[in-house]
Structure 1
Amino acid sequence: MNSSSSASSSQTKLWNFGKRLLIALAVFVALAAVVQLNDVTKPNLVNTDGRTFMKAVVTDIVRDNVQENGSRIGDQIVALKLADGSEVTANCPNGMLFGTVCEPGMSVVVIASQTGSLSSYTVYSYDRMTAVAAFLAFFCLLLMAVGGRKGVKSVIALAATFACFLFFFFPLLMHGLSPVFAAVITATLILAMTVWLICGPTKKALAAGLASFGGVLSAGIAAEVFGRMAHLSGYNVPNIEALMFVSQNTKIDVGGLLFAGILFASLGAVLDIAMDVSAAVTEIHEENPEKTERALFKSGMRVGQDVMGTMAATLILAVFGGSLGTWVLDYVYNLPLLQLLNSNSLDIVIMQGLSGGIGVIMTVPLAAAFSALLLKHAFGTNCHASVVKPPE
């Protein structure tokens, strides 16, 4: 018995060492690949020679632009104290997108322009760094306080998702990879990291990941089919002129960005409903392990049907809210229905909302089916055990 126990212990230690070694090797290879992938040269699309952004504090209003009736016309002239301690006079535009209404003590961001020996300063906007950082910190702390350990993992997953876009998806575009293909790869990576961080290498996570991938692909296929039927492409978007300028100076295929965006837009809602269904089926299986595969599938479908309608509505409302300005303009101008239904901007919004909804709908049967199959047939019967087990 002692000899057998010692051999088993040695096998387990060897297995754990081999697993750690493989993980370390995989991480090293992945980091090396990411470093190589980010070795890109961005074109100089805008001449920024002699122009820098810096922080400053308003010390005085040299000339105000307020009128007798309270309106503001023209620009303010303000005195500023820059971050390096120097004091300068700057122009503050009276615009909706740039500039702000300066007051003494206000923190602002300034554009410093240098032409030869001549320097000029223009107030770009209110300094929002503190507000943005505080709001982000409050969100993370709230998520961790309510979610506990899983809240901490969710924060890590969000940070990893952002890193995937910044260090993986965008460089892939710069290397000339199709935006849709790059989106599929990135979405797969995000799904794998998110479900692994939150649930670990369990059957529940595997079922949710597979179902989410299928749902995202369904949304992409639906968007592609509708785009072909309606003769919509990534070249019908409002900012196409700026995108075409980028396309002419890089390897980015701007025509595929629209459909890549639809994949990412549906990813969160699809993953949410997939996790809901998979978690519910797992709990049902734990409470009653004798339930058949068919019964588990039906239970998952019933749970998914309850969540599906609200989740699809959530996704469509998010798309609607993102384009609310367009809807208000169309409503106020009282445009005829024939014009509305044939406008590129409105049809793209419809495509985004309904394609995402189709992805959510298709995720429900996929999550129920994968959960039932994995729990009843794959990798034994313990639904919370790791997908890959060490040798006994």
Structure 2
Amino acid sequence: MADRFSYFISMKFKKSNQLFTISISLLSIVLFLLPTGFENPILVEKNQRVKALILETNNEDLHTHAVVTVGTQDLKMEISEGKFKGDTLNAHNVLMGQKKLDKIFKEGDKVLAVLTTNKQKDKVISARADDFYRINIELILFALFAIFLIVFAGLTGFKALLSFVFTALSIWKVLIPLLLKGFNPILISLLILAFTTAVIIILINGFSKKGFVALTGSLSGICITGFLAVLFGYFFNIPGTVKDFSETLLYTGFTNLKITDIFISGIFISAAGAVMDVAMDISASQNEVVLKKPEIGTKELITSGFHIAYPVIGTMTTTLLFAYSGGFMFLFMALMAKGTPMVSIFNTNFIAAEILNTLVGSFGLVLVAPITAIVGGYIYTSKSKKTTGALA
């Protein structure tokens, strides 16, 4: 009788997991087709963006001063796709003396060309090379990532890929448009982060004890990280304009945006993945302990969870340090090359922002570990041993 009940519960959860996977797949398709609300049809109609091949270059108007090159590069390119495929056009590439934005093309380069057409869209008025064409290699890299993930992990790999796509679409199609429309950045970010975290964990683990424990720990960690980001963000007194392109938004006309709140929300968003990893590691490990030793008690399982958490926390905090430091390596090098005193370096708003990112994220990791271990200790030992296997 008990075995039949366990089988019934197992099949019920299996069906629920399948329906949930299908639902998220359909929701991802809807999000993909959903407009952001910030499309500019006039700009799209006037300008066509197509792949092109550079045939010839003329660099006579380029002038180099020290390490900066300015001027206009004249190009001849062949359109590789679209209505004007096969046409040869003259184009320009204007260099502004900003190395992070400027690029110099050479013969044989594939570029993304912007074509300005007339009202009838049957004639190109002007053309320019916008940047190197990278869409193809990006798609190839994503395809290799997807294939490897599915081949290595099978159905779980497919669900992981689905969660990846769903999270990316949620950020691009929901979070960013809502932020641009002036919604409260911290509240909206927390809500969307909580929802996407729930989707990811349920997709990977299904409706199970392991998923519930990991989700509880993750949401607790996200809330704690959010609170710490708001609290110490206030004391650090760092403006949101410390981030690249934040001022560009203001100059574009979005003067109503709470730039500093968006910066703070970015802190707990960037730490959410690591928080979820720690919660999942501890939950999965406790689940394995229970499967191997069903008679284990609550206190002993919590203690095991703590022992599992210690090395996980030790490596994950360093992971955040590497991740944030790597993005600012050139800034560190520039400050050191100038002989800037250490006290000035760590007081610079750019560096202080990364310190805030790293320490708040690490603090969240430290706190999520014991919370997950305690929750797991009670959840995994709360039901009878007969149903443990079915729900694990």
TM-score by length of 1: 0.81
- In the alignment, the residues of structure 2 paired with residue 355 and residue 362 of structure 1 have an alpha-carbon distance, to the nearest angstrom, of 11
- Report the Cα distance in structure 2 between the residues aligned to 1:66 and 1:246, rounded to whole angstroms: 30
Say whether 1:376 aligns with 2:377. no
| From 207, 226, 229, the counterpart of 1:223 | 229
Q: Any idea what SS the aligned residue of 2:340 has?
A: coil
Q: Does 1:78 align with 2:75?
A: yes
Change (3 A) 1:270 1:66: same
Summarize the Cα distance change of 1:73–1:221 in structure 2 as closer, same or farther, 3 Å threshold. closer
Cα displacement (A) at 1:54: 2.2
What does residue 177 of structure 1 align with?
183
**Quick check: 314-323 or 292-301, which moved more?**
314-323
User: Which residue does 2:142 correspond to in 1?
Assistant: 136
Q: How many residues align?
A: 367
Alpha carbons of 1:368 and 1:224: their partners in 2 closer, same or farther (altered >3 Å)? same
Q: What's the secondary structure of 1:59's corresponding residue?
A: strand
Equivalent residue letter for 2:86: G
CA deviation after TM superposition for structure 1 residue 247, in Å: 6.3
Q: Is the 8 A contact 1:53 1:112 kept in 2?
A: yes
Q: CA deviation at 1:198?
A: 0.9
Q: Distance in 2 between matches of 1:230 and 1:73?
A: 39
Deviations 1:48-103 (A, max 9, x none): 88444222112334566799xxx987543222111322211122345632333221
Q: 1:166 aligns with which of 172, 176, 180?
A: 172
Q: Is the 8 A contact 1:212 1:274 kept in 2?
A: yes
Q: How does 1:296-375 map to 2 (within 5 A)?
A: 296-375=301-380
CA distance in 1, matches of 2:327, 2:169: 23
Amino acid at match of 2:106: C
The amino acid across from 2:345 in the alignment is L
Cα 1:348/1:194, change in 2 over 3 Å? same
Write the distance in 1 (CA, Å) between the matches of 2:39 and 2:160.
35
Is contact 2:35–2:173 with CA below 8 Å preserved after alignment? no
Match of 1:154 in 2: 160
Cα–Cα, structure 1 residues 237 and 76, in superposed 2: closer, same or farther, change >3 Å?
A: closer
SS at match of 2:240: coil
1:109 and 2:122 are equivalent in the alignment: no
* Contact kept in structure 2, 1:247 and 1:254, CA below 8 Å: no
TM-score normalised over the length of structure 2: 0.81
Which range is displaced more, 50-59 or 187-196? 50-59
* Partner secondary structure for residue 347 of structure 2: coil
8 Å Cα contact 2:51-2:133 kept in structure 1: yes
User: Who is 1:119 aligned against?
Assistant: 125
Q: Which of 139, 142, 151 lines up with 1:145 in the alignment?
A: 151
SS in 1 for 2:266: helix
Matched AA of 1:152: F
Aligned-pair CA distance for 1:384 = 4.6
Deviations for 1:273-316, whole angstroms, at most 9, x for unmatched residues?
11111111111111111111010001011011011110110012
Q: Percent identity?
A: 22
C-alpha contact (below 8 Å) 2:36/2:174 kept by paired residues: no
What is the match of residue 90 of structure 2? 89
Contact 2:229 2:268 in 1 (8 A): no
Give the Å deviation of 1:365: 0.4
Q: Is the 8 A contact 1:52 1:112 kept in 2?
A: yes
Distance 1:244 1:310, change over 3 A: same
Which stretches in structure 1 are left out of the alignment for 5+ residues?
Answer: 1-7, 388-392
Q: What residue number does 1:59 align with?
A: 55
Q: CA RMSD in A?
A: 3.7
Q: CA deviation at 1:243?
A: 3.1
